[in-house]
Amino acid sequence: MFHKEGYKIIVITFAIVVAAVLLIDTFVSLAWLRMTLIVCTTLLLILILQFFRNPKRQTILGEHTAMSPVDGKVVVIEEVFEKEFFKDKRIQISVFMSPINVHVTRFPISGKVIYSEYHPGKFLVAWHPKSSEENERTTVVVENDSFGKVLYRQIAGAMAKRIVNYATLEEEAIQGADSGFIKFGSRVDVFLPLDANIKVKLNQKVRGGESIIAELTK
């Protein structure tokens, strides 16, 4: 299954690859060169298909748990001052996505969307310390009675030139459901209550909608 954000790019890439293969087969006489070029163009199509895949995830809904919103590697776990919405201290967990990761963004908790904002900005590399505040980004806050408020922020990077956010104010979010997409690599920051019990470690690989990143005592 492929994400709807990739349909247009997949069709265009498929057409380009087919045309390229036909031209290569017609005009390139050297067998080894012809085969090399055909393999390279085919690999391009495979990479595009791989990037826009949208696998089903078996989310186990939990009122007291927060799921990773994306696939990738945990690169930050620290207490920070969140300036945009909370304006107080929170625990930040950041997940970095490489171009080979699934790039679907999913709701970390169920609840009501109480904040959803887009911010234009720069395209610093995703691991730059100031990317969370200066890069193009979207910020979404979901609230429920059990976990409280959880903020997640999609952040563009040097390769990611488009962020898609589906979360709308007053929407009833479902944990693990599709809430957006980031094209071509970046990161997502999650801001949790200080009393959250963090369930992941630095450099741990996580899966969006399946990996529990934190829980609160019932």
- Mind spelling out the 3-state secondary structure of the chain? CECHHHHHHHHHHHHHHHHHHHHHHHHCCCHHHHHHHHHHHHHHHHHHHHHCECCCCCCCCCCCEEECCCCEEEEEEEEEEECCCCCEEEEEEEEEECCCCCCEEECCCCEEEEEEEEECCECCCCCCCCHHHHECEEEEEEEECCCEEEEEEEECCCCCCCEEECCCCCCEECCCCEEEEECCCEEEEEEECCCCEECCCCCCEECCCCCEEEECCC
φ, ψ of residue 21 in degrees (nearest 5)? -65, -40
pLDDT exceeds 90 at position 152: yes
Over residues 16-32, mean pLDDT: 90
User: Which pTM value belongs to this model?
Assistant: 0.85
Active site residue 131: no
**Which one is predicted more confidently, 161 or 77?**
77
Compute the distance between CA of residue 133 and CA of residue 181 in angstroms, rounded to an integer: 19
Compute the distance between CA of residue 151 and CA of residue 76 in angstroms, rounded to an integer: 15
Q: From the candidates 94, 110, 186, 211, give the one annotated as an active-site residue.
A: 186
pLDDT value at residue 177: 95
Domain range 65-215, its CATH number among 2.60.40, 3.30.160, 1.10.3470, 2.70.70: 2.70.70
Over residues 104-130, mean pLDDT: 83
Over residues 125-147, mean pLDDT: 79
Domain ranges for the chain, please list them.
4-51, 65-215
**Which one is predicted more confidently, 185 or 43?**
43
Which residues, including other chains, have CB under 8 Å from residue 155's CB and lie 6 or more apart?
126, 131, 132, 135, 136, 137, 163, 186, 187, 188, 189
Query: 165-218 pLDDT, tens per residue?
Result: 999 999 999 999 999 988 766 889 999 999 999 999 999 999 999 999 999 876
pLDDT value at residue 29: 86
**Which one is predicted more confidently, 43 or 129?**
43
**Which one is predicted more confidently, 47 or 112?**
112
